[in-house]
Structure 1
Amino acid sequence: MNIGYLILAHKNPEQLGRLVDRLCFSGSFIYIHVDKKVDISDFTKAINMKEGVHFVNNRVSANWGAFSLVEATINGLKEMINNKDVEYISLLSGQDYPIKKNNEIINFFEERKGKEFIHFDPFPTKELINGGMDRIEYYYDYDNEVMKKDQYETEMKSMGVKREFIKNMKPYHGSQWWSLTRECVKYVLDYVDANREVINFYRYTRFSDEQIFQTIIMNSKFSKNVVNNNLRYIDWSNIDKIKLDWIKNPPHPKVFSILDYPSLLKSRCLFARKFDENIDKVILDRIDSILSK
């Protein structure tokens, strides 16, 4: 089985090079989207350009919580889908790392061929404050560097107006990261091209990268093949819900250290996030020592 990886990167070129080396094998294809805000030459120097490793040409300036993250993902997928050898596609960040060997990852997807692995939950959800409905009921423009990120929301609430969701669709949300079959990815790309109202709606939502794929897939024939699991080990235990503020103190997952190694070793997930070699490089060395055996 041939595995494709789309990696969204914006920092730590050397760590990205390490990730690429770890994922490389005879049946892997790796496409890297480097945030347009940073110098791509730092990343090209750090990457061992083996066969099957590519940089996404159509780069965008990607911003946290903004639609530009969806654009970066779609641009990368459009280049990947032209490679007819890719059978499964996993979306990763440059701070992710596999915690299983390549042959174990291959066997996992081979044994579950046709299954889509994406975390989803319908709106309103118990996972988010007030069901998370604010994410789709008000306008947001997190790619606009001039206006305040919650300006539209404040104005709409003062006027007592809300957005209507896309007709004949049920909204979903979930984790940004997933592993999908080639057929499912192709469906999503074709769908957004043919239904521009979906793009127009999600362009002005909060955290569209955690909604658009779930919504399109769960409203399609592929929903029957979905496993509600993104196969990622992510620790959110560092979040202080009392001090949480989407603008001033947004939530980010815990950065793993060597103290987390026992939990990572026990996990049945294929990948984990997130890591930062500038904070703790030893944990990556320890994982490599196991995966290299």
Structure 2
Amino acid sequence: MIFRTSTGENVYVSQERIPVYWGDFSQVEAILILLRLALAEQRRFDYFVLLSGTDYPLQPVSYIESFFASNRGKEFINIVQMPCEAVGKPISRLTTYKPSPGDSQIARIMRKLLVTTGVSSVDRDYKSHLRNLVPHGGSEWWALSREACEYIQSFVDNKPQVVNFFKHTVCPDESFFQTIIGNSPYKARTQRNLTYADWSGGGANPAYLTKIHLEFLTATASMTLDDLYGTGEILFARKFSDEAEEIVLWLDQLISEKEDRVTKRCT
């Protein structure tokens, strides 16, 4: 209730709530719930941007709106064909059977027993499940056109066998949407995503951003990244720590100054 009273009228909260676990299909489920809700909204949004609570914009709203208007028809999603070890997307993410956190202890024991006795394999034949779909992977965060999101929703509604397969894969949030888009007409329109993250330290999570990061990211009017996912401008950054209020306030001030400069040029 405290959160709800502190947000604006343009913030919508889904009434459908589910527990979400890192690296689990519940992340995909939560995204699909939000996507379905947004697509059903009376206002027809042109783009849908997936962000987390640790993300923050690097540009004013007016700049971001202008960017999407100027790049209409493009899909901003990091995407590579799997396997791709260079970006940490091994095929084992699909072949390894991952139990769901909600699985009962009996189900886990039965699964282990079947593997131990040789009745079931540790690895799964992903090709028999995906059939003619080529697996793709990438980063969780994306910005997709309305048409691409409607395609995803239709795919989910009409391909339950594929959805069920991904329920027991590793980090499906980094392959489910990529595989759908990677086997669609929208693949030809893809560009790298719009979110910066610092993975230089290695490990399972990107580094928390500091003022040094932000001084680098905001040194010019716009920032372009060039990496294994391609070249493109970035509009958002992550991860910001819950204790990073001073950094966020500094960034807010910077964004406000940019907005003021744009306003002055237009008046």
Deviations 1:47-103 (A, max 9, x none): 3222x2110121111100000000000001111001242110000001100001111
Structure 2 counterpart of 1:27: none
CA gap of 1:145–1:198, structure 2 versus 1, over 3 A, is closer
Structure 2 counterpart of 1:275: 240
Q: Does 1:167 align with 2:124?
A: no
Give the gaps of 5 or more residues in structure 2: 225-233, 258-267
Structure 1 counterpart of 2:17: 59
Structure 2 counterpart of 1:94: 53
Q: Does 1:44 align with 2:9?
A: no
On the 8 A contact 2:55/2:238 being kept in 1, the answer is yes
Alpha-carbon offset, residue 264 of structure 1? 2.2
Alpha-carbon offset, residue 156 of structure 1? 5.1
Structure 1 counterpart of 2:201: 238
Whole-Å Cα distance in 1 between the matches of residues 125 and 156 of structure 2?
A: 19
On the 8 A contact 2:97/2:122 being kept in 1, the answer is no
On the 8 A contact 2:100/2:167 being kept in 1, the answer is no
Whole-Å Cα distance in 2 between the matches of residues 112 and 158 of structure 1?
A: 55
Whole-Å Cα distance in 2 between the matches of residues 153 and 253 of structure 1?
A: 33
Structure 1 counterpart of 2:229: none
Q: Which has the higher contact order (CA 8 A, sep 6+)?
A: 2
Q: Does 1:288 align with 2:252?
A: yes
Please identify the structure whose Cα radius of gyration is greater.
2
Please identify runs of 4+ aligned residues in structure 1 that moved more than 6 A.
150-155
Q: Does 1:137 align with 2:95?
A: yes
Partner secondary structure for residue 78 of structure 2: coil
Name whichever structure is richer in helix by fraction: 2
Whole-Å Cα distance in 1 between the matches of residues 85 and 239 of structure 2?
A: 24
Partner secondary structure for residue 289 of structure 1: helix
CA gap of 1:121–1:190, structure 2 versus 1, over 3 A, is same
- In the alignment, which of 85, 99, 109 is matched to residue 126 of structure 1? 85
**Structure-1-length-normalised TM-score:** 0.74
On the 8 A contact 2:23/2:172 being kept in 1, the answer is yes
Alpha-carbon offset, residue 283 of structure 1? 1.3
Alpha-carbon offset, residue 158 of structure 1? 9.2
Structure 1 counterpart of 2:62: 103
After superposing the two structures, state which structure 1 stretch, 158-167 or 280-289, moved more: 158-167
Deviations 1:100-136 (A, max 9, x none): 111111111111101100001111102356x611110
Identical positions, percent: 31
Give the gaps of 5 or more residues in structure 1: 1-40, 241-250
CA gap of 1:133–1:287, structure 2 versus 1, over 3 A, is same
After superposing the two structures, state which structure 1 stretch, 152-161 or 251-260, moved more: 152-161
Residue type matched to 2:76 in 1?
Answer: F
On the 8 A contact 1:70/1:209 being kept in 2, the answer is yes
Partner secondary structure for residue 64 of structure 2: helix
CA gap of 1:274–1:194, structure 2 versus 1, over 3 A, is same
How many pairs were matched up? Answer: 236
Partner secondary structure for residue 248 of structure 2: helix
Whole-Å Cα distance in 1 between the matches of residues 116 and 60 of structure 2?
A: 50
CA gap of 1:157–1:217, structure 2 versus 1, over 3 A, is farther
Q: Does 1:265 align with 2:218?
A: yes
Whole-Å Cα distance in 2 between the matches of residues 291 and 66 of structure 1?
A: 35
Whole-Å Cα distance in 2 between the matches of residues 106 and 49 of structure 1?
A: 19
Alpha-carbon offset, residue 155 of structure 1? 7.9
**Structure-2-length-normalised TM-score:** 0.81
Partner secondary structure for residue 7 of structure 2: coil
- In the alignment, which of 64, 68, 74 is matched to residue 32 of structure 2? 74
